[in-house]
Structure 1
Amino acid sequence: MSGELEHALAFLLAFDGRVHHYADGYFVKFEIRQVEPTKERPHGLRYSFTLHGPKGERLVGFDNAHAVAPLGSRYKSKPVVTDHWHRTEDDAGRPYSFERAEKLVDDFFDEVERVLGERGISFDVVEVEDRSEE
């Protein structure tokens, strides 16, 4: 693994257990672990990045806990790779093309910023909590 890839992986794994709190009770939660690469997780990561509302409800999520059907047709088979994202609290999930660690973090925060902006909530983090030791 190149030094650049090792740095990116260490950066991403450092997010595990972090909770970023925003105004009015909104927060994001990060769970990320390195695992053995499989067909479902060829990059060797198991992750769940979620934005939650004040009552704890998930508003946006990027994860690879299970496969989701591709968009556009119910007759297409589910992909083997399980990376996907939920654009809204009611979205069952849509495939996500994992390219690299930095892009995953950027894409997630782009969606967090979109949803918070739609709700009039500042994107400024008011507190960072580390739950990795819990």
Structure 2
Amino acid sequence: MGFDNLPEYQLELLLGYDGRRHILESGHFLKFEVRRLEPSVRVPHGLAYSLTLHAPDGQRLVGFDNAHAVPHAGGRFVEAPVQADHWHRTRNDPGRPYAFISVEQLLVDFFEEAERTLRDLNVQFVVIAEK
């Protein structure tokens, strides 16, 4: 699917998450920030997003976002990615490219990675509140 024809229902689905916080029984929380932008080379799908999992103290553990370009890992003959979609697998990860396919896939990938991280911490993924 091309970015120029991302279905409106996908845009509305992700925009519906904007401002949500899902609080887990452990005190960890999921935070969602989404807004519509004019599509560009850097953000061809026209969405600015940040989907993050946080520790109880607020420190980010995992994040999928497009707030900045990821550091270029290749040599001088490897072209740097133009798009800003990326994800942070750990709290110290500077980011790695994320292949944005669809809103549904972004949500699946985020929730799977959040669940993996919580499992690694021996924390159950039990949502007790939404703000």
TM-score, with length taken from structure 1: 0.88
* Maintained 8 Å contact 2:71/2:94: no
Compute the displacement of 1:74 (Å): 4.5
1:127 aligns with 2:129: yes
- What's the Cα RMSD here? 1.8
1:95 maps to which of 63, 77, 97: 97
Matched positions, count:
127
Gapped regions of structure 2 (runs ≥ 5): none
Compute the displacement of 1:77 (Å): 3.9
* Maintained 8 Å contact 2:55/2:61: yes
- Residue 45 of structure 1 corresponds to 47
- Secondary structure, in 3 states, of the residue corresponding to 2:38? coil
1:59 aligns with 2:89: no
Question: Take 1:77 and 1:28, find their aligned partners in 2: how far apart are those partners?
Answer: 33
Question: Take 2:60 and 2:37, find their aligned partners in 1: how far apart are those partners?
Answer: 25
Compute the displacement of 1:119 (Å): 1.2
Gapped regions of structure 1 (runs ≥ 5): 130-134
Task: Report matched runs for 1:1-134 at 5 Å.
Answer: 5-71=7-73, 73-75=74-76, 76-129=78-131
Question: Take 1:77 and 1:50, find their aligned partners in 2: how far apart are those partners?
Answer: 28
- Residue 132 of structure 1 corresponds to none
Runs of 4+ in 1 over 4 A off after TM superposition: none
- Secondary structure, in 3 states, of the residue corresponding to 1:25? coil
Compute the displacement of 1:81 (Å): 0.4
Question: Take 1:32 and 1:108, find their aligned partners in 2: how far apart are those partners?
Answer: 14
State the identity %. Answer: 50
